[in-house]
A and B are shown apart, each in its own frame.
Chain A
Amino acid sequence: MNTNDPANRDEALRKLLKVWRTDASLPPHFQESVWQRIERAQTPVSPSVWAAIAHWIGTSLPRPALAVSYVAVLLAIGMTAGWEQARQKTTDVRDELGQRYVRVLDPYLTPRE
């Protein structure tokens, strides 16, 4: 008998399994836990947020149209934020200087030395 032949090997294994008996009892919920392990192993792992961002940076961002849009949007955001902050600062400084003018002229508000 050629045991290297797959058909013969399966036949031998089948015979062996037919005569095989065991007294060991299965743990509780054995079948259920086996299926759960199989399901867990088959569930695709979702990539992390950082991995997704890194993937996007590596693949999508270098596209010329997207790269130009990205830089243009950040440029606009920077300009708008700078303008808004400057506007606020200018208003505050002008108010402060106006108050200072009144304080200099009003003896009740003039800082004492």
Chain B
Amino acid sequence: MKKGVLILLLGLAAAAVAYGCMYFGCTSCVRVLQHSDRPELAWLKDEFNLNDAEFKRVSELHAAYLPQCRGMCRKIDAQNAQLQKLLGSATNATPEMDAALVEAARLRSECQGMMLRHFFQVSQTMPPEQGRRYLAWVKEKAFLPDYGMNEKP
């Protein structure tokens, strides 16, 4: 009986160790990505097989883009605040409200143009095949008709 119990426990321990080794071994790559300084860029490098020179150029483009993005965030926030203020006290559509909506649409268009230019620049930094794959992926994520509908801000 004692020997049987020992074998039973040995089997269970073997299963647990095998599970752990396989799980931690196979997820080590994504854990490294997650714990890097800039996980989204580390992911980009890994996903599109960028070499160090390509990654350096992409990182520079990324760093140059972020201030523009932050500037656009401020404009969008200010525009949204103005629109909310107009909507808060309104009982009818007013010319100011129309102008605010037009400005909001213009900002969205400007924002998408800015993003698109950045995506093209990044794709041109990559090897041609990876660049095409990157553009297809990023268009799907940021420019489909249901763009932004399922995202949590």
Contacts and interface: CB of A to CB of B under 8 A. Distances in A.
Pair from one complex: yes
Interface of A: 54, 57-62, 67, 70-71, 73-79, 81-83, 85-87, 89-90, 93-94, 97-112
Interface string B15-51: 1111111111111011001100001111110010000
**Majority SS of interface residues in chain A?**
helix
Contact of A99 (B3, B111, B151): B151
A109 B151 contact: yes
A85 B82 CA distance: 48
Contact of A82 (B19, B44, B66): B19
A97 B65 CA distance: 19
A57 B1 contact: yes
B26 A105 contact: no
A83 B73 contact: no
Given A83-B23, A86-B22, A102-B138, 13 more contacts: A59-B4, A62-B4, A70-B8, A78-B16, A79-B22, A82-B20, A82-B21, A82-B22, A97-B43, A102-B141, A104-B69, A105-B65, A112-B77
A113 to B, nearest CB: 10
B1 A100 contact: no
Which 8 pairs, one residue from A and one from B, show the smallest C-beta to C-beta distance? A82-B22, A78-B18, A86-B26, A78-B15, A97-B43, A58-B1, A57-B4, A101-B40
Nearest to B119: A105
A94 B44 CA distance: 10
A67 B33 CA distance: 41
Contacts of B17: 78
Interface of B: 1, 3-5, 7-8, 10-12, 14-27, 29-30, 33-34, 39-44, 47, 65-66, 69, 72-73, 76-77, 108, 111, 115, 118, 137-138, 141-142, 148, 151, 153
26 contacts: A59-B4, A60-B4, A62-B7, A71-B10, A71-B14, A74-B15, A75-B11, A75-B18, A78-B19, A81-B19, A83-B22, A86-B22, A86-B23, A89-B30, A93-B33, A94-B47, A100-B39, A100-B43, A101-B40, A101-B44, A102-B138, A102-B142, A104-B66, A105-B115, A109-B153, A110-B69
